[in-house]
Amino acid sequence: MTIVKPSLFPGGGSSPLCSLKSSLLTVAILTFVSLFYLSHNSLRTSPPSPVVVTPIHVPQTFAKEDKTDNNDDDGTAPTTGEDNYSDVYHSPESFRLNYAEMEKRFKVYIYPDGDPNTLQGTSYENMTVIVQDYVDGLIAKYPYWNRTLGADHFFVTCHDVGVRAFEGSPLLIKNIIRVVCSPSYNVGFIPHKDVALPQVLQPFALPAGGNDVENRTTLGFWAGHRNSKIRVILARVWENDTELDISNNRINRATGHLVYQKRFYRTKFCICPGGSQVNSARITDSIHYGCVPVILSDYYDLPFNDILDWRKFAVVLRERDVYNLKQILKNIPQSEFVSLHNNLVKVQKHIQWNSPPVKFDAFHMIMYELWLRHHVIKY
């Protein structure tokens, strides 16, 4: 069980902010499981002893002020670039107000218990026992779990290993907030409780794309392994098409340097079928490189779906639409494609991890998702 041991502050040691951000990113990449405890100033005071859990505030990291719109004589305040909340959000004003409140009041506590190497080399059956024993230990040692039966706790994992480690504990699945990369709501993911973590493979091999629609001459692109039914169908139906660039295997590196990544720059729509799970890192790759993602994955609760309006910057289809894929994409007017592309550029900051974190990046979006869930936690 991976638990980040916090530094006690004030004093030396690493920054608590960096410790929390690093813990989230590390468990996402290395597929370990961590357990954290949420606290909201509006609901309950902080734990009495910093030795037990160390408070780590979500940072108020603001973008540099845009000096192009200065204060005039009309008495209005100057605006910043980050104040431009566009229609990629379901409710821009609600997002703005709630985000500001989250920055001021939200706290996360990390349990110091646990060994980072516990789950390495361990069978799935043993993982389930280890997780249950670990939680039982927290219940016996601290008072915080018992107030809500774990409803104000969360764990993070970007691999199905961590998800499967909790499968033997139905009570944990029911109560705890799961921040996972495989949010399939037909196999236990609970959208109003759990959080969909974007699967991001960083660093990206090439810079972000965007504002380059004139260079995108290929209608659609996909290359990958046929490790799911939808991928098998996609390759079988479209791999010989002259307008869709579909390959039923990964692009061989021998064909050239970063050939796969460069295809994103030349394509209007990048096909994102589910693989062994509903999720795929291809979605965030597409967003980063400025290629409008085409979601072909049923039962997928898309990352930040309750915040972002995915239909403003992506094409969301049902898996059965794969047979009409080319016609669907060709029927999208150029003006609509340009709008999707421009909105996509606005979303890129939300799937980027930074160290230290910056406002609106992936770290803060996950924190915001957790902050929203305090409304359903009852004490």
Reported as a pLDDT band with limits 50, 70 and 90, residue 80 is very low
CA 315/CA 146 separation, integer angstroms = 43
User: Is the per-residue pLDDT at 272 higher than 50?
Assistant: yes
CA 96/CA 179 separation, integer angstroms = 23
pLDDT of 59: 53
Assess contact for 54 and 107: CB atoms under 8 A: no
User: Is the per-residue pLDDT at 368 higher than 90?
Assistant: yes
- Which carries the bigger pLDDT value, residue 72 or residue 323? 323
User: Is the per-residue pLDDT at 379 higher than 60?
Assistant: no
Helices vs. strands in the chain: H and E counts, helices first: 12, 11
CA 158/CA 176 separation, integer angstroms = 16
Cα dihedral 151/157/163/164 (nearest 10): -130
Reported as a pLDDT band with limits 50, 70 and 90, residue 226 is confident
Assess contact for 127 and 164: CB atoms under 8 A: yes
Reported as a pLDDT band with limits 50, 70 and 90, residue 347 is very high
Reported as a pLDDT band with limits 50, 70 and 90, residue 111 is confident
Chain position carrying tokens 């920055």: 103
117 three-state secondary structure: coil
User: Is the per-residue pLDDT at 320 higher than 90?
Assistant: yes
Reported as a pLDDT band with limits 50, 70 and 90, residue 287 is very high
Assess contact for 296 and 274: CB atoms under 8 A: yes
User: Is the per-residue pLDDT at 149 higher than 90?
Assistant: no
The whole-number average pLDDT for the span 88-104 is 93
Q: Which of 189-203, 275-289, 319-333, 359-373 has the highest mean pLDDT?
A: 319-333
The whole-number average pLDDT for the span 183-211 is 85
Contacts of 104 (CB under 8 A, 6+ apart): 60
User: Is the per-residue pLDDT at 11 higher than 60?
Assistant: no
Reported as a pLDDT band with limits 50, 70 and 90, residue 331 is very high
Please state whether the peptide bond connecting residue 198 to the residue before it is cis, i.e. omega within 30 degrees of 0.
Answer: no
The average confidence (pLDDT) of the chain is 77
pLDDT of 174: 85
- Which carries the bigger pLDDT value, residue 115 or residue 316? 316
Assess contact for 303 and 197: CB atoms under 8 A: yes
* Beta-bridge partners for 39: 107
Closest CA to 169 of 133, 117, 116, 118: 133
Chain position carrying tokens 């409140």: 101
pLDDT of 15: 38
Reported as a pLDDT band with limits 50, 70 and 90, residue 185 is low
CA 91/CA 98 separation, integer angstroms = 11
User: Is the per-residue pLDDT at 273 higher than 70?
Assistant: yes
User: Is the per-residue pLDDT at 158 higher than 90?
Assistant: no
User: Is the per-residue pLDDT at 25 higher than 50?
Assistant: no
pLDDT of 337: 98
**Torsion sign (Cα): 202, 207, 211, 217:** negative
The whole-number average pLDDT for the span 371-377 is 76
- Which carries the bigger pLDDT value, residue 187 or residue 232? 232
